[in-house]
Amino acid sequence: MPSPAVPPSIAALVDHLWRDFVATTPQAARIRELLVARGELVHHDHVALRTIAAPGLGLDALGGPLEAAGFRPRERYRFDEARLRARYWQHDDPNAPKVFVAELDPGGLSVGAQAILERLLAQVPSSFTERPELLRTGRPWTPTYADYQALLVESEHAARIAALGIGVERCSVDVGALITFPDLDALVAFLVEHAFRVDARGERAAIRPEPISVRFADTAARIPSGCYELALRHQPRPRASRDYAVSVAK
């Protein structure tokens, strides 16, 4: 029997997020392919985006397309030590992942780091923040490798924004929604058997980032990929009935 039609707005949004994520975290696509080959419908509990507090790029700007697709804004958070503000959005469809957006507050960084970010933000064309796409992801500036290294000393979030732009930083598989693994340990063992390096702690595990090549203004350099996470929730969801990424991403 054919699967129910996927609501276009949600399908397009999740497809956009998934493609953005695997562009900088290619091991995530390989893992999903392995799980799908076992007959799994991979339910992503949440995805998390990185952005910066700037006109057309902050929390409210990225939240607009989410709300247009039917996602409802939920709680706000502050992480003062990391100089981040965050919020998440949730859809009524239980198969749609929650979407977190973490926004860097440049004001908490040194004068030198702020100057780097201001120089990068000055390169953003007005058309970038006026595009009609669902989310304004991408890198509309070109940093030097020295810019990346200087920011990394103070803030990993700032350094990755400079190197990779606005985009998906983390994606989390809901282990409780899988049907061929009895628990998180079994999933971790399966991935280790397939040569993935996994760091496990309690009810959460993460695939170790693989280096990816990034083109800077003056050179190409390898930096860590994003984070593909495996999480077992205290209140498991019903078994997933749809994998949006499988439905629309090839």
What does the DSSP assignment read for 140-161? Answer: -S---HHHHHHHHHH-HHHHHH
The answer as to whether 1 is a domain residue is no
Which residue range forms the structural domain that includes residue 173? 8-248
For residue range 6-37, list pLDDT tens digits in order.
455 888 888 889 999 999 999 999 999 999 99
Domain presence at residue 3 = no
Report if residue 2 sits inside a domain.
no
Sign of the C-alpha dihedral computed for residues 131, 72, 250 and 160 taken in this order = positive
Write out pLDDT tens, residues 142-198. 999 999 999 999 999 999 999 999 999 999 999 999 999 999 999 999 999 999 999
Bridging pattern class, strands 98-104 and 84-90? antiparallel
Task: Dump pLDDT digits (tens) for 109-139.
Answer: 999 999 999 999 999 998 888 776 767 778 9
**Residue 126, in any domain of the structure:** yes
Residue 191 and residue 242 in contact, taking contact as beta carbons nearer than 8 Å: no
Please indicate, yes or no, if residue 188 is contained in any of the structural domains. yes
Which pLDDT value is given to residue 242? 63
Beta-strand pair 44-52/167-174: antiparallel
Q: What is the CATH number of the domain that holds 80?
A: 3.10.180.50
Number of continuous H segments (helices) and E segments (strands) in the chain: 8, 10
Q: pLDDT tens across 214-246, in order?
A: 999 999 999 999 999 999 876 555 555 666 665
**Which pLDDT belongs to residue 135?**
79
Strand partners, 183: none
Instruction: Write down the residue that tokens 């339910």 correspond to.
Output: 43
Structural domain total, the chain: 1
